Structure 1
Amino acid sequence: MTIHTRPVHLPTVDFSRFHGSAAERESFIRELTLVLHDHGFFYLTGHGVPQSLIDDVLATSKRFFALPEEEKLAIEMVQSPHFRGYNRAGYERTRGEQDWREQLDINTEGQPVAAGPDTPWNRLYGPNQWPEALPELKPLLLRYQQEVTRIGIDVLKAIALALGQPENVFAEIYEPSPSQLLKIIRYPGREAAGSDQGVGAHKDGGFVTVLLQDTTPGLRIRTEDGVWIEAPPVPGTFVINSGELLELATNGFVRADVHDVVTPPAGTERYSVAFFLGARYDATIPVIPLPDTLKRGERGVTVDALNPIFREVGINHLKSRLRSHPDVAARHHPDLLHLLDLPTRA
């Protein structure tokens, strides 16, 4: 019989302590160091995002998904070479299998950038697609994107201190403009889904993820020793998790944990809003020299033949989008499909 010494639940971190007194901040950083090594996932309170904004984002997201299908398909992702827009359930894939969720993807609002042979990731820059039938969605989601970007960068500063580094150690690889991928998501009930896979088991590719859940559970995290932990919604919190960029930068001291989402029961549905803070696409992730007390906890970078990790941020992110959205890849980027076969260089 296997005895698990770690608790089978996620820790809760009160982020207001990071902005509190010197003693509170020091105690917070010590606890965060342990959380990062043991979990990589935690609930965040004290984040400062108004509940009114959170409620408005969830309510307006539900209105978007309730639009007639033709209104949503008018901004279907396959029309965007920048991987922005709406996807029907089953149109995104994880490890080759269909994810049963419909979603709208946006990223940093901008203009297309010329891409050359050495900068294929520039194809990811460009404008978002917005629904004409719901004009209030654009300013609302862009405001929310700013708020969760603030949270993500603040959490990243706290993580840097927890790793014994200056708080701005990661700034040189995300400034002046980090990747700001935001998804509003609806998971249909099991009777409407093609499988139990809301989202298949995977790791997130950025620095940190800031996840807002509604009231329906479904998120699960797999610990290093193979135990699946459920992460049900907790009012007033975000779920924070570390991504592959932190695993690369810390040689595995911070692990990007595998997680998935189970399709909700028949007769129900699940809504969430996921924000992925990433580095600049032209950045390369260094290995941070950890203090000796932490270096002993390095576990090395995970090697997955089906999902290699690259230190070149742009290639890493581009590979992920090509893999997840084969319809967009086939229509707009057939010359880049060879990137899916690159061996790992982590």
Structure 2
Amino acid sequence: MSTVAQALRPATTSLNAAQALSALDTPLDSLPVINLAELGDSTRHTPAHARLARIARDIGFFYLEGHGIAPEQIERLEAVARQFFALPPEVKQRIAIHHSRHFRGYTGVGGEITRLQPDLREQIDFGEELEPVAQAADTPAWWGLQGPNQWPAELPQLQSDILAWLDTTRDVAKRLLQAFLVALEQPATALNALVAPPHNNRLKIIHYPGQAQGQSDQGVGAHKDGGLLTLLLQDQVGGLQVQTPQGWLDVPPRKNAFVVNIGEMLELATNGYLRANVHRVLSPRSGVSRYSIAYFFSPSLHAQEVPLLDLPSHLAQQARGPESDPLNPLFSHIGTNALKGRVRSHLDVAEKFYPAQFALLDKTAKPSAY
């Protein structure tokens, strides 16, 4: 860990998963649905806001409808995503993620690691299109996360569709964040500085190839997301599961609806009132492909620290404190926390561009075969 990270305190409260999930008194058979249009203009607290806060505290996952994104834009992005994955392997490898210190680009099946096991998916990572920060001897390593994307010359329409989606989804995520703040009896603008430009949001388009019976089915291993909010589009195949006290809950596709989950940074800002929950994706069966598009609404690197919201006493009494895995500690410093997650997941990029951080990863963070 860098000297910056060593000077920062990890989240001090640690709960085991069973304690954290005990708030779910009634077993769930499906995720709840939130209609963003019913949450109004974020100027007054309504019963819909109270329900939003309760759902986010209890399970941290829900379907989002009423977001206002045209179905045609969704269909266009889904189509161009499939076109990208149909490109020849050598074309995709020209924009491999290991060429980018900003963790942007293509990763083949098994190239990303979750809980020491390879994820059986291929993907391409994007972020906000920004100029890189000039590197000097005293530049904190996490500034390397800001920079441009890699684009395939063979699919020129991908760039315009991705950049348009980043803009469109950012607006939806900001509206939803403001609704959460009103739900917690905060000003809707309370976290505006945290998500102000230059933005640090990411987008991942993903292909899960089918796996034969008896093989690993880890599409992506059990994990939490590290940002504020994740907005996921699924195709019609399914495979996403959310952890509950009763076991894994399937999250079947819901056409043109996002699956939304709370990230660790929003859990941190609310002292654990809102909860980042564990989820995973199972690989589809042999001969079937699954596609999804995940948007990660994240704090700006320029904001430096995640603030702690001053919740009213009746809500603060229900806050459980943020969870912090001793093997993957949670930091309030935005850049440190963001780089930690990237380094642990993409060891090839870490080894090439972040050798100091890579060297400090202990054996528990590296697969034995690496």
- TM-score, normalised to structure 1, is 0.93
- Structure-1 residue corresponding to 2:16: none
2:230 maps to which residue? 209
Select which of 156, 181, 184 maps to 1:163: 184
Determine the C-alpha separation between the residues in 2 that align with 1:192 and 1:331: 35
Q: Kindly indicate whether the alpha-carbon contact (under 8 Å) linking 2:27 and 2:246 is maintained by their aligned counterparts in 1.
A: no
Mapped partners of 2:121, 2:287: distance in 1: 15
Q: 1:44-55 residue pairs with structure 2 within 5 A?
A: 44-55=64-75
From 82, 92, 112, give the equivalent of 2:112: 92
- Preserved contact between residue 112 and residue 126 of structure 1 (Cα < 8 Å): yes
SS in 1 for 2:276: coil
Q: In the aligned structure 2, how far is the partner of 1:81 from the partner of 1:193?
A: 36
How many aligned residue pairs are there?
338
Structure 1 residues 331 and 12, CA gap change in structure 2 (3 angstroms):
same
Say if 1:241 and 1:256, in contact at 8 Å, map to a contact too.
yes
Q: Can you give the 5+ residue segments of structure 1 that lack an aligned partner in the other structure?
A: 342-346
| Cα distance between partner residues in 1 of 2:329 and 2:343 | 13
1:255 counterpart letter in structure 2: R
Say which of 214, 231, 241 aligns to 2:261: 241
2:40 matched residue in structure 1: 19
Quick one: which amino acid aligns to residue 95 of structure 1? R
How far apart are the structure 2 equivalents of 1:43 and 1:19?
A: 17
Please give the residue correspondences for 1:108-123 in structure 2 after superposition, counting only pairs within 5 Å. Answer: 108-115=128-135, 117=138, 119-123=140-144
1:79 aligns with 2:99: yes
CA contact (8 A) 1:41 1:241 kept: yes
- Residue 118 of structure 1 deviates from its aligned partner by 5.6
Alignment of 1:169-180 (within 5 A): 169-180=190-201
Q: Against the structure 1 CA distance between its residues 168 and 21, is the aligned structure 2 distance closer, same or farther, given a 3 Å change threshold?
A: closer
Q: Do the aligned partners of residues 86 and 324 (structure 1) sit closer, same or farther apart at CA in structure 2, a change above 3 Å counting?
A: same
Q: In the TM superposition, what whole-angstrom CA distance separates every residue of 1:217-248 from its partner, at most 9, and x where no partner exists?
A: 0000112x353111110012000111000111
Give 2:279's aligned residue: 259
Equivalent-residue separation in structure 2 for 1:205 and 1:289 (angstroms) = 22
Asked if the contact 1:100–1:193 (Cα under 8 Å) also holds between the matched residues in 2, the reply is no
Q: CA deviation at 1:68?
A: 0.5
Tell me how far apart the structure 2 counterparts of residues 194 and 153 of structure 1 sit (CA, whole Å): 40
Distance 1:212 1:43 in 2: 10
Kindly indicate whether the alpha-carbon contact (under 8 Å) linking 1:178 and 1:277 is maintained by their aligned counterparts in 2.
no
Other structure's SS at 2:46 match? helix
1:150 aligns with 2:171: yes
Q: Secondary structure at the match of 2:296?
A: strand
Taking the TM superposition and a 5 Å limit, the aligned residue runs for 1:1-346 are 5-19=26-40, 26-115=46-135, 117=138, 119-191=140-212, 195-223=216-244, 225=245, 227-282=247-302, 283-337=304-358, 340=361
Q: C-alpha separation between the residues in 1 aligned to 2:100 and 2:213? A: 27
* Bigger RCO (CA 8 Å, 6+ sep): 2
Helix, strand or coil: the match of 1:103? strand
Identity over aligned residues, as a percent? 42
Q: Distance in 2 between matches of 1:21 and 1:338?
A: 46
Deviations along 1:259-278, one digit per CA (max 9) or x if unpaired, are 00001111111000000010
Distance in 2 between the 1:285 and 1:20 partners? Answer: 25
1:291: how far off?
A: 0.9
